[in-house]
Amino acid sequence: MEKLLIVKLGGKVLADESKLNAALSSFADSSLRKILIHGGGNEASDLAEKMNVPVKMIEGRRITDDSMLEIVTMVYGGLINKKIVAQLQSLKINAIGMSGADGNIILSERRPVKTIDYGNVGDIKKINSGNLVKLLENDFVPTICALTHDGKGQLLNTNADTIAAAIAETLSECYDVELCYCFEFRGVLENVADKNSVIPEIDNKEFEKMKISGSINDGMIPKIFNALEASKKGVQKVYICSYESLDHPSKGTQICFK
């Protein structure tokens, strides 16, 4: 199978122009077919503040009422997506910006209200791999923001990490996928004080041990958990790596479910 690189750009990279440019350059340097996925939560909160729309978060998840949906649609689908696309085009990468509604690539359903009403938040039902493959095979680079739709005209806000994992899982049936969650470090570090102490590989057993021994930073736990889930569901290779080495993700930490 042909290789496919799928990169999720993290929040701290999006928020810093020089980091974003470095990330897009290293992404452009990869010669593989590829897909970029991004959110933009900090930027959405900034716009909300300017517009006096209250930002409500529960356990790190955004409550998306109608006003907030307009804001994330503008910020994720407009401001950030078009900025990234224009920048990638200047690097001769044939980016095409998309939400999950475009080409019907990500169908979701509104999250049911249990104890919390998240509002216009969508849980992924189906990745339309047919249209994504058509774009990839025609040499486009889908550049996907954290919006999905319900197929009935309603846009929904969906976490970008989850989108990246779902797309990687679905496309792992027709490509040899490398999924990269990138961030500001070179990989998962043995010792946070030593930026070169990258752990080359973490599997599920190792991860359990690290959690028990407390040798792992709390912030890293959900990142590694998500990456392990993707590996478990069949994504061929999953990495946590630096935004500066998207063309060589194996310099980071490979996360394997065994």
Residues making contact with its own copies (CB under 8 A): 47, 50-51, 70, 73-79, 81-83, 85-87, 89-90, 94-99, 101-104, 131, 134-135, 138, 140, 147, 149, 151-155
Q: Which is nearer to its own copies, 157 or 254 (CB)?
A: 157
Q: For the chain, how are helix, strand and coil distributed in percent, rounded to 5?
A: 40, 25, 35
Q: How far is the CB of 160 from its own copies (least distance, A)?
A: 16
- Is there a contact between 168 and 179 (Cβ–Cβ < 8 Å)? yes
Sign of the dihedral through C-alpha 242, 245, 249, 254: negative
Give the whole-angstrom CA distance, residue 171 versus residue 163. Answer: 12
Q: Which is nearer to its own copies, 98 or 180 (CB)?
A: 98
**CB nearer to its own copies: pick between 153 and 214:** 153
CB of 224 to its own copies, least distance (A): 32
The side-by-side arrangement of strands in the sheet containing 176-183 is: 95-98, 141-145, 33-38, 3-9, 176-183, 237-242, 253-256, 201-203
CB of 82 to its own copies, least distance (A): 5
Helix, strand, or coil here: 244? coil
List the 106-110 sheet strands across, edge first: 122-127, 106-110, 147-149, 155-157
70 vs 176, beta carbon nearer its own copies = 70
The least distance separating its own copies from the CB of residue 196, rounded to whole angstroms, comes to: 32
The amino acid sitting at 97 is G
Min CB(110)–its own copies separation in Å: 13
- Which residue lies nearer to its own copies by CB, 109 or 176? 109
